[in-house]
Amino acid sequence: MPELLAFQHGFAAALRDRQRTPATQQWLAGDADHVERRVAIYRANMVASADKALSAAYPVVRQVVGDEFFHGLAREFLRGTPSTSGDLTAFGAAFAQFLAAFEHAQSLPYLPDLARLEWAVHRAYGAADAPDWDAGTLGAVEPGRQDAIRFRWSPGLAVVESTFPIVRIWTIHQAGYGGEFSVAWDLSDTALVARDGFAVTVAACGAGDAAFLNASLAGAALGDAATAALSRHPDFDLGALLGRALAARLICGFTL
């Protein structure tokens, strides 16, 4: 193996496992104690980078569990799911799965769903800006062909389903929230995450709307998506949903 590659593999092993540090002495100047103390600086940087990236994506999870516990979560998450890129934008995508399995987070069963909501918010924040679109073109579709419409939804739009009141939990942890802080724990929320200009919005979404949106986001035509929603949620109101979606510019095009 070329010397540089051997050094980097050795150093990488020491960063991820303290027991592997002594082997780096063949490349690094100083005695064992010195090398361990200095490599520990890099090890701490590595965890700090993960903590910072996860904190940016999961600010509410961090508030809920506290800074110290969150730092521990970051270290544990990093151990099993190391970063694979110099771009940390996508780091932390699997945090919800990690939280669902992490023994010391089981006392907060809603945490994984809250994390899925925050990840959708994080993705929406950096999603492409919605293109301008003339919604009037939708009205020009012949009634007989409307069932075949496939909507192009605005980038970042996501539905996050949960059996916990995650929209409520998310809302009361936002900076500037001025209301009261009670949570009705027996309620469940489905969240609709969307961009409003450059802001990201999180709103509660009815079960029928969620079923329609999930089908449509997955590529289903309007008629099929509406049928799927109505079959399980007879009160689903397609007209009302489309009216709200068009008003909020959540639809930015369609194909036939």
Partner 1 sequence: MTAATTTLSGTGIGLRQPHYREVFERRPELAFLEVHSENFFLDGGASMHALERARAAYPISLHGVGLSLGSADRLADEHLAKLARLVDRVEPALVSEHLCWGGVGGVHFNDLLPLPHTSETLALLADRIDRVQARLKRPILIENLSAYVECRDSDMTETAFLAELARRTGCGLLLDLNNLYVNAINFGFDAVARLAELDGASIGQIHLAGHAVVDDCLIDTHGSVVCDPVWALYEHACRRFGARPTLIEWDTDLPALDVLLGQAGQASAIARSEATHA
The total number of residues written for the chain in this structure: 256
Residue 251's H or E segment, with its range, is: strand 251-255
Q: Is the CB of residue 150 less than 8 Å from the CB of residue 222?
A: yes
Between 2 and 144, CB nearer to partner 1: 2
Per-position x/- string for 74-93, each x denoting binding to partner 1 as judged by CB under 8 A, each - no binding: --------xxxxxxxx-x--
Q: Is the CB of residue 21 less than 8 Å from the CB of residue 35?
A: yes
Residues 6+ away with beta carbon under 8 Å from 87: none
Task: Name which position in 18, 37, 79, 104 contacts partner 1 (CB under 8 A).
Answer: 37
Of the candidate spans 126-134, 182-190, 209-217, 230-238, the one that interacts with partner 1 by CB under 8 A turns out to be: 126-134
Minimum separation from the CB atom of position 47 to partner 1 (A): 10
Between 17 and 101, CB nearer to partner 1: 17
3 near partner 1, judged by CB under 8 A? yes
Q: Tell me how far apart the terminal alpha carbons of the chain are, to the nearest angstrom.
A: 57
Between 89 and 231, CB nearer to partner 1: 89
Minimum separation from the CB atom of position 4 to partner 1 (A): 4
Euclidean distance between CA atoms 28 and 30, whole angstroms: 7
Q: Is the CB of residue 192 less than 8 Å from the CB of residue 209?
A: yes
The structure tokens listed for 170 are 């998310």
Between 156 and 165, CB nearer to partner 1: 156
102 near partner 1, judged by CB under 8 A? no
3-class state of residue 253 by DSSP: strand
The structure tokens listed for 112 are 């994984």
Of the candidate spans 5-13, 139-147, 164-172, 240-248, the one that interacts with partner 1 by CB under 8 A turns out to be: 5-13
Per-position x/- string for 209-248, each x denoting binding to partner 1 as judged by CB under 8 A, each - no binding: ----------------------------------------
The CA radius of gyration of the chain, in Å to the nearest whole number, is 24
Residue 192's H or E segment, with its range, is: strand 190-196
20 near partner 1, judged by CB under 8 A? no
Interface residues with partner 1 (CB under 8 A)? 2-5, 7-9, 11-12, 15-16, 26-30, 35, 37-39, 41-42, 45-46, 49-50, 53, 82-89, 91, 124-129, 155-156, 195, 198-199
